[in-house]
């Protein structure tokens, strides 16, 4: 960037590279919209006014606002490599994402972080990162790596590393665990924010969590929870993901007085969510449709996250800022018609103009060490009553229920008549065959099984089904692919593979185009529905049942986890 030339162009002494004429410029600083022209040079916004340029483009009275920023996203949840993710979100006006490579780091460790950094270079949008703070998320599961504070320290020097990712080990924070506090302090020493993850935390525990240096939270599910955290000084990221949809419940908290501390994020979105609905753009439209001032909705997608992450060169259409901009016609329902990054038009009418760069690095091998011959899903009946995981619609929190066991031949079995299915998590890293088995309600499978190597956060293999034979067949299908999704059906004693979706990169990501991944997703979801499942995205719901930091009852390769007590608990109750 030639600063001298920028200054000369801004003064009108020499022609700019581009002038966008006849636009309505959205000013996120003062909440005003002003008609005029906007000049750009060297990828930088010069300002509005009567400028000469080598190229002009007439916006025809359309609106011009800053590019949208996703404040927290796991790219791995899109199940596609980074160029495909770019192709999905950039045409929708998302010019910057702050990604937490937590998922791939739990599988591949520091190599996973290095892969994501390298694979995201030279892209036509800004792909920034926070460092995964919890690898593993807890000691109640087996992950593919352990990242200590010392292991993370070199990454803080990376220009595109903006902070420490979601500190989901809030019990470790509250207990003052030394390595947890060292990670937080390292971020603060580098003047980078620390993202939080503390669902339901309140009162003195919330105070203690904040006192450790945590700055934000994206796990609020109720307006009351978000209001308490805002009042305590947290920045709130309102999330609308694939499994966790909090937009409608949290919109009432947004006011003229507090909106500057609130941002949008998607967290986890599957291919069909991105392709059918969109990303941050759909959150803006839905918020406006619900009555939020359009300028506030746009500010929450632009200036607010830019300020939070110290991205002073982004987030506004103003002199000196990077020329990342979105052009749209309808302020009541913004849909990107043109997208610019660094002063170059990248997308037109929902289509990317030039294919994103392919990664110059090959992904590391995907661990898949499962001794299938030793896996025994039998559950001896050690009582009449047992704990059951109950799904919560459109949320990743679960209920901790107790139900009568269905006993046959001395073993607890699935009972499809009561929607009582068996669920298991099988460890895939060491070859020792670690196994946790329990029961779950909410899938409504009448037969068959589904399995996945996407199982937050350790990403062992998770499987749910109506019989042990079908579950083992689904487990084998995932292992044989080196990771992916599988649906198994047919006769209970002779199960057949119905559909699969291979995910060869870490067992999380496909190397195929997003539309093909989406078609594969549709097929495995369709197979699950054909067996009785009523969930919109059963594999996304399944993936979060192994996450032992989201209330209330979860399962890992080490057993059932009572998240409220933060401890392993027995399946059967007294």
pLDDT tens, position by position, 174-190: 999 999 999 999 999 99
- Look at residues 329, 323, 330, 317 and name the one whose alpha carbon lies nearest to residue 346: 323
What is 93-123 written as a DSSP string? TEEEEEE-THHHHHHHTHHHHHHHHHHTTT-
Instruction: Supply the pLDDT for residue 494.
Output: 86
Query: Is residue 355 a contact partner of residue 95, using CB atoms and an 8 Å limit?
Result: no
- Look at residues 94, 172, 93, 88 and name the one whose alpha carbon lies nearest to residue 134: 172
Q: Is 232 exposed, middle or buried (0-12, 13-18, 19+ CB in 10 A)?
A: middle
- Look at residues 136, 552, 457, 210 and name the one whose alpha carbon lies nearest to residue 566: 552
This prediction's pTM: 0.93
CA distance 381 to 87: 51
Backbone angles phi, psi at 531, to 5 degrees: -100, 10
In the chain, which residues have pLDDT < 70?
A: 492
- Look at residues 25, 69, 32 and name the one whose alpha carbon lies nearest to residue 46: 25
Instruction: Supply the pLDDT for residue 543.
Output: 93
Query: Is residue 272 a contact partner of residue 540, using CB atoms and an 8 Å limit?
Result: no
pLDDT tens for each residue of 3-15: 999 999 999 999 9
CA distance 418 to 415: 6
Distances (CA, A) of 528 to 158, 274, 413, 480: 43, 21, 20, 20
Pick among 3.20.20.140, 3.40.50.880, 3.20.20.10, 3.40.50.150: CATH of 68-311: 3.20.20.140
Q: CATH fold of 3-61, please? A: Urease, subunit C; domain 1 (2.30.40)
What sign has the CA pseudo-torsion 116, 117, 120, 125? positive
Instruction: Supply the pLDDT for residue 360.
Output: 83
Instruction: Supply the pLDDT for residue 516.
Output: 96
CA distance 200 to 303: 28
Coil, strand or helix at 86: helix
Instruction: Supply the pLDDT for residue 549.
Output: 87
Domain ranges of the chain: 3-61, 68-311, 372-569
């Amino acid at each position: 960037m030639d600063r001298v030339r920028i200054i000369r162009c801004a003064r009108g002494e020499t022609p700019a590279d581009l002038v966008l004429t006849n636009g309505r410029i959205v000013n996120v600083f003062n909440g005003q919209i002003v008609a005029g022209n906007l000049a750009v040079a060297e990828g930088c916004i010069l300002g509005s006014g009567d400028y000469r340029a080598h190229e002009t483009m007439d916006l025809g009275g359309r609106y011009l606002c800053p590019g949208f920023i996703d404040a927290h996203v796991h790219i791995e949840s899109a199940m596609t490599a980074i160029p495909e993710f770019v192709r999905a979100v950039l045409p929708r006006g998302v010019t910057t994402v702050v990604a937490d490579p937590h998922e791939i780091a739990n599988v591949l460790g520091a190599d996973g972080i290095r892969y994501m950094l390298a694979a995201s270079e030279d892209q036509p949008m800004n792909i920034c990162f926070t460092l995964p703070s919890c690898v593993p998320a807890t000691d109640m599961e087996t992950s593919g790596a352990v990242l200590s504070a010392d292991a993370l320290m070199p990454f803080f020097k990376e220009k595109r590393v903006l902070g420490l990712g979601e500190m989901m080990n809030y019990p470790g924070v509250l207990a003052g665990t030394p390595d947890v506090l060292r990670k937080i302090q390292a971020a603060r020493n580098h003047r980078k924010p620390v993202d939080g993850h503390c669902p339901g935390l309140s009162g003195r525990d919330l105070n203690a969590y904040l006192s450790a240096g945590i700055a934000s939270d994206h796990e609020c599910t109720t307006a009351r929870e978000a209001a308490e955290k805002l009042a305590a000084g947290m920045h709130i990221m309102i999330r609308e993901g694939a499994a966790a949809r909090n937009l409608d419940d949290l919109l009432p908290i947004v006011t003229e007085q507090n909106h500057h501390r609130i941002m949008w994020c998607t967290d986890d979105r599957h291919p069909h969510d991105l392709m059918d609905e969109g990303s941050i753009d759909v959150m803006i439209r839905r918020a406006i449709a619900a009555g939020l001032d359009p300028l506030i909705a746009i500010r929450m997608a632009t200036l607010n996250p830019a300020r939070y992450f110290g991205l002073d060169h982004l987030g506004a259409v103003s002199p000196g800022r990077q020329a990342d901009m979105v052009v749209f016609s309808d302020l009541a329902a913004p849909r990107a018609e043109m997208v610019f990054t660094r002063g170059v038009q990248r997308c037109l009418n929902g289509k990317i103009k030039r294919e994103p760069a392919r990664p110059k690095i090959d992904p590391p091998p995907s661990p898949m060490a499962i001794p299938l011959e030793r896996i025994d899903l039998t559950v001896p009946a050690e009582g009449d009553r047992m704990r059951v995981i109950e799904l919560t619609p459109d949320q990743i929190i679960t209920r901790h229920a107790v139900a009568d066991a269905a006993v046959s031949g001395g073993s607890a079995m699935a009972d499809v008549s009561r929607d009582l299915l068996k669920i298991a998590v099988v460890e895939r890293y060491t070859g020792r065959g670690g196994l946790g088995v329990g029961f779950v309600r909410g899938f409504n499978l009448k037969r068959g099984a589904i399995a996945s190597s996407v199982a937050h956060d350790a990403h062992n293999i998770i499987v749910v089904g109506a019989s042990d034979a079908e579950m083992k067949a689904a487990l084998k299908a995932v292992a044989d692919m080196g990771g992916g999704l599988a649906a198994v059906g047919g006769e209970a004693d002779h199960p057949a593979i119905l559909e699969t979706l291979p995910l060869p990169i870490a067992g999380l990501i496909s190397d195929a185009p997003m539309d093909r991944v989406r078609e594969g997703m549709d097929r495995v979801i369709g197979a699950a529905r054909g067996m009785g499942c009523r969930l919109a995205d059963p594999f996304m719901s399944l993936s979060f049942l192994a996450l032992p930091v989201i209330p209330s009852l979860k399962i890992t390769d080490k057993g059932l986890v009572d998240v409220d007590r933060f401890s392993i608990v027995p399946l059967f109750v007294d």
